[in-house]
Amino acid sequence: MALRHSAHVLTKVGAGQALPAALADLFDRHTLSPASRGAIQDITYRSMRRWGCAHALMAVLASKPPSPARLSALVACALALLSDDTPPYAEHTLVDQAVEACAQDPELSRAKGMVNAVLRRFLRERDQLMQSVLRDDDARLNYPRWWIDEMRRAWPQQAEAILIAGNGEPPLTLRVNRRKIEVEAYLDQLAGEGIAATRIGDYAVKLKRAVPVAQIPGFADGVVSVQDAAAQLAAPLLQVQHGMRVLDACAAPGGKTGHLLELANCDVLALDHDARRLNRVSDNLKRLSLHAMLQVGDARLSDWWDGQPYDRILADLPCTASGIVRRHPDIRWLRRPVDSRQLAERSAEILDNLWGMLRPGGLLLIVTCSLWPEESELQAQTFVQRQHAVRLEAPGQLLPRADEASDHDGLFYALLQKPAL
Please identify every residue annotated as catalytic. Answer: 369
Residue 290: which of 267, 313, 316 has the closest Cα?
267
Residues with Cβ within 8 Å of residue 225, at least 6 apart in sequence: 174, 175, 177, 219, 255, 258, 259, 284, 287, 288
Q: What are the phi and psi torsion angles at 112 (to 5°)?
A: -55, -45
Residues with Cβ within 8 Å of residue 306, at least 6 apart in sequence: none
Angle of the 112-124 helix axis to the 51-61 helix axis, nearest 10: 100
406 CB-contact burial (10 Å; exposed 0-12 / middle 13-18 / buried 19+): middle
Q: How many CB atoms lie within 10 A of CB 309?
A: 15
Residues with Cβ within 8 Å of residue 362, at least 6 apart in sequence: 309, 310, 311, 312, 313, 417, 418
Distance CA 202, CA 176 (A): 9
Any long-range contacts for 268-273 (C-beta under 8 Å, 24+ apart)?
A: 268/292, 268/293, 269/245, 269/293, 269/294, 269/295, 269/310, 270/294, 270/295, 271/247, 271/295, 271/296, 271/297, 271/299, 271/304, 272/296, 272/297, 273/297, 273/298, 273/299
Distance CA 347, CA 108 (A): 45
Cross-strand pairs, 238: none
Distance CA 33, CA 410 (A): 34
- Is the distance from CB of 282 to CB of 294 less than 8 angstroms? yes
Distance CA 321, CA 319 (A): 5
